Chains A and B, each alone.
Chain A
């Protein structure tokens, strides 16, 4: 597709429940990025993939967060045992292969996760 698609748009979970978010990157883009936006303006990088391989996972909380990008499937971000502090909007972005550091990232509309 021509746009990054993210599902669901909203997700509500009780503390301790699992949450799974999906992202379909733009066709032909080989890089996928996940970002977390807390408190409106604070973005945090979580993880990136080059095709199905983890490219950079320096931002991932290792204990409860995991992510995958498998061939012919949407990418996913899963949070086991959600906590109140996981409430945020999670954005997925994709980019073409090319000049390192200088590629435009195309963002999806985000998934708003609310943990009660």
Chain B
């Protein structure tokens, strides 16, 4: 299974942009890149996903490197409610199963 690597933790101040990096050097051509986040005592929550092109939605932006071996989740203005563990995940084209990394714990300070 293709794996992702992320920093264990990151910090941000409220209202500032946050860039969460992810490496996935063994990604195959048909794997999608997903980001989910998990708040304490909750199930993972979808944030964004993409295949090759950069993506934007109301929650975040996803920047995908040209060679697809890395990606960055961008939260444009962090809020206290964005404090969570963020998982960079690859999903298999044929089965949709999500292969989770170990996640980045994001702390947001007022």
Interface residues in A95-116 (C-beta closer than 8 Å to B): 95, 100-110
The answer to whether the Cβ of A41 comes within 8 Å of any Cβ in the partner chain is yes
Interface residues in B7-37 (C-beta closer than 8 Å to A): 30-32, 36
Considering only CB atoms and an 8 Å cut-off, how many residues of chain A contact the other chain?
A: 27
The answer to whether the Cβ of B61 comes within 8 Å of any Cβ in the partner chain is no
Would you give the 0/1 interface string for A55-85, flagging 1 where the beta carbon is closer than 8 Å to chain B?
1101100000000000000000000000000
Known: A42-B102, A56-B96, A91-B44. 19 other contacts (CB 8 A): A4-B43, A31-B96, A41-B85, A41-B102, A43-B100, A48-B95, A48-B96, A56-B95, A58-B97, A91-B43, A93-B43, A95-B96, A100-B96, A101-B30, A104-B49, A105-B46, A105-B98, A109-B43, A110-B42
B44–A101 touching, CB < 8 Å: no
Q: In the assembled complex, which residues on chain B have CB atoms less than 8 Å from the CB atom of A58?
A: 95, 97
Q: Which of B45, B94, B99, B103 has a CB less than 8 Å from the CB of A100? A: B94
The answer to whether the Cβ of B65 comes within 8 Å of any Cβ in the partner chain is no
Q: How far is the CA of A108 from the CA of B85 in the complex (A)?
A: 17
Chain B residues within 8 Å of A, Cβ to Cβ: 30-32, 36, 42-46, 49, 51, 85, 87, 91-100, 102-103
27 residue pairs A–B, Cβ–Cβ below 8 Å: A33-B96, A33-B98, A35-B98, A43-B87, A43-B100, A45-B97, A45-B98, A48-B95, A56-B96, A56-B97, A91-B44, A100-B94, A100-B95, A101-B31, A101-B32, A101-B91, A101-B93, A102-B32, A102-B51, A103-B96, A104-B46, A104-B49, A105-B44, A105-B96, A107-B36, A107-B44, A109-B43
